[in-house]
Amino acid sequence: MSNNLAAAILQAQAICWNETIGYRLGGMALSSADGVDCSGLIGRCLSDAGGFNYPTYHVGTINMKQPLIDAGFTIIPVNDLNWLDQNIQSGDIVVLNHLDMTGGHTFFYVENIRAYTDPSADYDTEGTVSRAKVEASSDRGDSSDGDHRKNGTGAYWEVWCHAFYQLVSGYDPTDPNDEIYIARWGGGINTKNIFLLKRIRDGQFNNMNWTNKFMRRGI
């Protein structure tokens, strides 16, 4: 299977929209019970549906850089958040680390996909969102493991596709203790797959056999 960033992002969206899969530190969405965390979501989708030479085991954000390089991604250090906002491209993987090992985060940045239109997912309004994150995060209200509904809607705190109000929070590229970089795939997203990225929603890909579905569609 050739390297395919669109297929990886499609799988990540499917995992996010599958409301049986919640956040769990160290999880890789191998099953609903396994759960998934931020780096587990990226790693699972790169190595599985994406076909990238990326570890099939869990890699935390602090250790992602070399595996991403080995998989063929270009690492672009971010020294200014305004630069990031103006230069980020659809399909980029954003990685953030507190180098004192107190935390990290990563997500796919994708444009024009199906997502919650509210950046906090307080409401279940969905639509094609021009700038969105595809991520697993425990930093939304209740931080306990598992799926937790927010305000009784279909929006979950932890694993979601949503509009953003800011690219990063709590990380300062001018702080020597903080690291922010983009991992960019030179081939980008195949434009013929954009319509799939826009339309994916829970129920269209409602089981864990992602790869065969993607390959049958000729992605």
Beta strands per DSSP E along the chain: 74-77, 93-98, 103-110, 113-116, 126-129, 132-136, 159-163, 178-184
**pLDDT for residue 188 is more than 80:** no
CA distance readout (Å), 79 to 97, 106, 166, 171, 173? 13, 17, 16, 11, 5
CA distance readout (Å), 150 to 37, 121, 122? 18, 8, 7
60 exposed, middle or buried (CB, 10 Å; 0-12, 13-18, 19+)? middle
Could you read off the pLDDT of 23-70 as tens digits, one per residue? Answer: 788 989 888 778 888 999 999 999 999 999 999 999 999 999 999 999
pLDDT band per the 50, 70, 90 thresholds, residue 201: low
Domain boundaries in the chain?
Answer: 5-216
Q: What is the pLDDT of residue 123?
A: 64
Could you read off the pLDDT of 16-32 as tens digits, one per residue? Answer: 887 777 778 898 988 87
Q: What is the pLDDT of residue 193?
A: 61
**pLDDT for residue 13 is more than 80:** yes
Averaged pLDDT of the chain: 78
Backbone angles phi, psi at 113, to 5 degrees: -125, 165
Q: How far is CA 199 from the centre of its chain?
A: 17
CA distance readout (Å), 181 to 18, 65, 71, 193? 28, 9, 16, 26
Q: What is the pLDDT of residue 124?
A: 67
Could you read off the pLDDT of 99-132 as tens digits, one per residue? Answer: 998 889 999 998 888 887 777 666 667 788 888 8
pLDDT band per the 50, 70, 90 thresholds, residue 217: very low
Q: What is the pLDDT of residue 21?
A: 76
Residue whose C-alpha is closest to residue 163's, from 193, 107, 121: 121
Q: From the CA atom positions of the chain, what is the Rg in Å?
A: 16
Could you read off the pLDDT of 135-171 as tens digits, one per residue? Answer: 887 654 443 444 444 434 333 434 465 545 567 788 9
